[in-house]
Copies of this chain bind each other. A is one copy, B any other.
Amino acid sequence: MSVCRARIALGRSLTHSRPQSVLRTQPSRRYASTESSAPQTTSPRTQSKWRTFLQLVGRVTLVTVVGSGALFYYVARKDRTPGEQLPHDPTKKTLVVLGSGWGATSLLQKLDTTDYNVVVISPRNYFLFTPLLPSVAVGTLNPHSIIQPTRYITRHKTRTVSVIEAAATDVDPIAKTVTFADESEIQGLVSSTTLKYDYLVYAVGAETQTFNIPGVKENACFMKELDDADLTHRRFLDCLESAAFPGQTSEEIDRLLHIVVVGGGPTGIELSGEVHDYLEEDLRNWYPELSSHIKISLVEALPSVLPMFSKKLIEYTESTFKEANIDILTKTMVKEIKDKSIVVQGPDGTKREIPCGMVVWAAGNTLRKVTKDLMAKLPEHQTNRRGLNVDDHLRLEGTSGSVFALGDCTATSYAPTAQVASQQGSYLARVFKLIARRDALSTELQQLESQGLLEGEKLKQKEDLVRQLEKVEKMKLFKYTHEGSLAYIGSEKAIADLPFGVGNLAIGGVATYLFWRSAYLSRLFSLRNRTLVASDWLKVRFFGRDVSRD
């Protein structure tokens, strides 16, 4: 009882803090004179104000900590314990989603599942936050911090969503079927099957483009999936350990510790920056004998890195890299990647072979086989070598509105970025709400029309339905809103190109780095991922990155 009372008093004193501070002046002065025997250089009034202020700060802090802790626990608990779901309803249409990347996940988050029986098929049972992949490659982040199981989203939906870990092997837009197979190590008796869909969302993404350059597949690491980041991490530490092997010549140490990154897009830039941070902040401590040998080179075929950024920021990146001792080789084409070297052709046309320990390939996208097969089935409409042709509603050309495609597998005027795919996914969620409405109205109309000649009330009803249907069918077109470009460039600096009014805001530096961090944190889909990434950043701040090659 007295605990309650004390709490009430605490709460009240917070809200009425201003009048209290006046009331308290008197007794607080008494404290000071009774308790303190130290020489008094400040007036009792100042001290009392300070005291009141500190008490207020203390209380606000306490209430904030307890309150946000409780909220955090509540949200985490709710995320963790999904409730009962409605079962699949045979009268509803089947919506199949292929993929679990930016497009598919953004769609699933927003989709109203009461209208459909939804089936998600993807070879990965999780969503991967790709922009932070370079951080995983050097061990700044734990792989599990940037992934979110697809079921963590679908299990919170009103109606059950089937999530199937399988790769789509065939899409038949005529028969409206998808064939998919479990391609993992462990398989059940049934490991391949075909499913009929009413609507299909095709969001399978792309795979890494190697331009058929010899040796890329065999000798380079990629930066697309979680396994790629893991392999890059292992190889990098392997290079270090091999360089530390007793009796290695100085020349061979230089080779082993030369890291080449191919591709001057955000991924290549961020990876170079992260590798540089790793060297500066961690390896210098644990491998002091090797630190002077390490070298990073960035190879780009175009005349400049980061073409999506303004000239000022490109120059800022170049000068930051120069300070960080990262070589940028622009207008340089990769001709071959060998086991222990990379062959490049410089701007003057001469080829040279550069010895190196490892190459990370972060250049370009190409279509997956299943996408090429799908295009071959629609020869009249799908002839664009860049990707699938879609209309302004993201409907796949030649499928009369039953297939939608988005993200990196499509050929649009937008760049193949997470931002575009994500906005397309949200757009489609709205479209499917309208489609459900349209389909319901059409069915109603058909039932009415099947009753033969309509008169009076019924005719009015029909006209009303037709009007509603016309309204629904005027769906808005997809329109992309560019929210800006961000990239981390190492040395605790980032660059940002943000649309601002009619112009652009181009900023770079340490403040932008904090902005980069908070922007990425807010982009993560769940409280869980946000907490994990933030705690990983804290860990690195306190303990540095790990140098174990596990």
Contacts and interface: CB of A to CB of B under 8 A. Distances in A.
A256 interface: yes
Given A41-B1, A286-B149, A47 B226 contact: no
Given A151-B287, A190-B252, A543-B76, A246 B195 contact: yes
A331 to B, nearest CB: 30
Interface string A48-82: 00110010001000100000000011001001111
A384 interface: no
A539 B532 contact: yes
Interface stretch (A28-36, A392-400, A464-472): A28-36
Contact of A244 (B163, B193, B550): B163
B287 A186 contact: no
A142 to B, nearest CB: 5
Contacts of A10: 54
Contact of A242 (B12, B31, B186): B186
Contacts of A72: 542
A456 interface: no
A191 to B, nearest CB: 7
Contacts of A443: none
Contacts of A287: 151
A75 to B, nearest CB: 10
A376 B34 CA distance: 84
Interface string A175-212: 00000001011111111010100000000000000000
Contacts of A155: 285-286
A9 interface: yes
Contacts of A531: 539, 542-543
A544 interface: yes
B82 A548 contact: no
Nearest to A195: B246
- Which applies to chain A's interface (DSSP): helix, strand, loop or mixed? helix
Contacts of A151: 286-287, 547
| A31, A72, A234, A249: most-surrounded residue (chain B CB, <10 A) | A31
A143 interface: yes
Contacts of A238: 184-186
A249 to B, nearest CB: 7
A242 B184 contact: yes
Contacts of A149: 286, 546-548
Contact of A9 (B36, B187, B241): B36
Contact of A47 (B2, B46, B195, B285): B2
B50 A2 contact: yes
A57 to B, nearest CB: 10
A125 B549 contact: yes
A23 interface: yes
A6 B184 contact: no
Interface string A129-152: 000000000010011100111011
B79 A244 contact: no
Given A6-B51, A149-B548, A285 B82 contact: yes
Contacts of A256: 186, 188
A357 B12 CA distance: 61
Contact of A186 (B76, B126, B246, B358): B358
A152 B76 CA distance: 35
A307 to B, nearest CB: 32
A163 B143 CA distance: 27
A474 interface: no
A8 interface: yes
A171 interface: no
A450 interface: no
A502 interface: no
A125 B3 CA distance: 55
Contacts of A246: 162, 164, 190, 193, 195
A81 B148 CA distance: 34
A50 B3 contact: yes
14 contacts: A1-B42, A2-B46, A9-B51, A23-B31, A80-B544, A125-B241, A152-B286, A164-B246, A186-B239, A188-B242, A188-B245, A188-B248, A188-B252, A190-B246
A-B pairs with lowest CB-CB distance, top 8: A27-B27, A126-B548, A165-B241, A6-B50, A186-B238, A188-B242, A528-B543, A76-B542
Given A126-B550, A184-B238, A531-B539, 11 more contacts: A5-B42, A6-B51, A16-B35, A76-B543, A80-B543, A125-B241, A165-B245, A165-B549, A188-B252, A226-B550, A532-B543
